[in-house]
Amino acid sequence: MENFEFINAIVLLSNFVIVPALSYGSQLALATLSLTIIYGVLRFSNFAQADWMSFGTMATILFTWLFQSIGITAGILPTALLALPFAIIVTALFCLLIDRSVYSFYRKQKSQPIVLMIVSVGVMFILQAVVRFIIGPNDRKFFDGEKYIVHALDFKNYFGLEEGLTIKSTQLITVIVALIAMISLFYFLQKTKLGKSMRAYSNNEDLALLSGINPEKIVIVTWVISSILITTAGVLYGLDKSFKPFTYFNLLLPMFAAAIVGGIGSPIGAVIGGYVIAFSEITLTYAYKKFFMYLLPENLEPSGLMQVLSTDYKFAISFIILVIVLIVRPTGIVRGKII
């Protein structure tokens, strides 16, 4: 009996904390990676990044609708996965267009990072307008295919436990796709010539130029990689929850928080930061009452909800962590670029 209580507690925790945090963390990690790549190579904090995420997701939704209307689906997988490559192409092209028409001017002038940041605020406004203009400001769900891998009810019946475990297919897809994306990115950065020249450029621009690295090529590759990552992150997030431009805009701060917590400019740091933020958001706002009810004997059962912070503050947790990190260790977990 004791054992069962323990397993129930673990299942409960996995269902409400570990699985959701893992999938949200993967989405956040991908998004933060794209922010970090821009920061590392182009040297500015891109305030428009969350809106690139909206834009990429919007493009995916439009392609999904197109495919659905001509009868192409991915069977048990969501159609959005088929649409994703096309959306990435559109997003990358639009990114490059904006870069040519807006950012490249300031790059040539060697403007300060803060100026580029203010410019990105302008781009942010324009992107928000474009997304809202094309698809509207409302909530959209674009998930199709098989919804669950493990359903709570089946799980309960199968194992004879009191607690059920639900794993949505989107959660598994998220983790797998995120892993593939991260591994290929790290492979690209560490092993390929282009990736190495990108890192060299990020590390010391003048030295890289002297060794014959073509800066324009690096800039293009950076925007393309950033669009791949951000569109994928946005689509995974949208499949898991739903797509709404304002919600996506609100992801900007968790993204920045993750980048700084992990160590700004460091790709590994971005991944770690993404998971740290996601896990803290969920673990700190989860009410552990039931969990302790399984673990503790009856007379010790907690009376309150056993919640560190109310769910109202879920959104603020990432900034609280951000502030703490800025005070305690401003370079982040993995030592990033020197501030």
Partner 1 sequence: MSEDLRAPVAFTVMAVLLAIVGFTQSWSVSLSVINLCIISSIMAIGVNLQWGYGGLFNAGVMGFTALGGLTAVLVSHDPIYEAWDKAGVGIIISAIIFILSITALLFVFRNIENKQIRNTLIILIIVFSLIGINNFYGPSIDIIESINPAKTGFLGGLGLPIIFSWLIAAVVAGLVAWVIGKITLRLRSDYLAIATLGISEIVIAVVKHEDWLSRGVKNVSGLDRPVPYEIELQQSEWFLNLVERINFSKLEAMQSLSSRQDLLNDLVIDSSGIFVKLCYAGLFFSVLLLIFYLSQLALNSPWGRMLRAIRDNEEAASAMGKNIFAQHLQIFIIGSAIIGIAGAMLTTLDGQFTPGSYRPLRFTFIIWLMVIIGGSGNNLGSIFGGFFIWFIWIEAEPLSIGFMNMLAGGLEYDNPLRMHLLGSAAHLRLFIMGLLLLLALRFMPRGVIPEKIQKK
Exactly one of 122, 141, 154, 183 binds partner 1 (CB under 8 A); which one?
A: 122
Regarding 176 and contact with partner 1 (CB under 8 A), the answer is no
Whether 30 and 174 have beta carbons less than 8 Å apart is answered as no
| Stretch 92-121 residues interacting with partner 1 (CB under 8 A) | 102, 105, 112-115, 117-119, 121
User: Least distance in Å: CB of 56 to partner 1?
Assistant: 18
Nearer to partner 1, 85 or 136 (CB): 136
Regarding 323 and contact with partner 1 (CB under 8 A), the answer is yes
Nearer to partner 1, 176 or 316 (CB): 316
Nearer to partner 1, 41 or 119 (CB): 119
Regarding 300 and contact with partner 1 (CB under 8 A), the answer is no
Exactly one of 253, 287, 295, 333 binds partner 1 (CB under 8 A); which one?
A: 253
Regarding 129 and contact with partner 1 (CB under 8 A), the answer is yes
Regarding 66 and contact with partner 1 (CB under 8 A), the answer is no
Regarding 74 and contact with partner 1 (CB under 8 A), the answer is no
Regarding 124 and contact with partner 1 (CB under 8 A), the answer is yes
Interface region with partner 1, contact rule CB under 8 A, candidates 70-78, 173-181, 294-302, 321-329: 321-329
Residue 161 makes CB contacts below 8 A (sequence gap 6+) with 4, 7, 8, 11, 155
Regarding 137 and contact with partner 1 (CB under 8 A), the answer is yes
User: How far is residue 236's CA from residue 169's CA, in Å, rounded to a whole number?
Assistant: 11
Interface region with partner 1, contact rule CB under 8 A, candidates 61-69, 85-93, 128-136, 269-277: 128-136
Exactly one of 72, 157, 203, 330 binds partner 1 (CB under 8 A); which one?
A: 330
Nearer to partner 1, 155 or 319 (CB): 319
Exactly one of 83, 189, 257, 276 binds partner 1 (CB under 8 A); which one?
A: 257
User: How far is residue 143's CA from residue 238's CA, in Å, rounded to a whole number?
Assistant: 8
Regarding 132 and contact with partner 1 (CB under 8 A), the answer is yes
Q: Which residues here bind partner 1, judged by CB under 8 A?
A: 44-45, 102, 105, 112-115, 117-119, 121-130, 132-133, 136-137, 253, 256-257, 260, 264, 304, 308, 310, 312-313, 315-316, 318-320, 322-323, 326-327, 330, 339
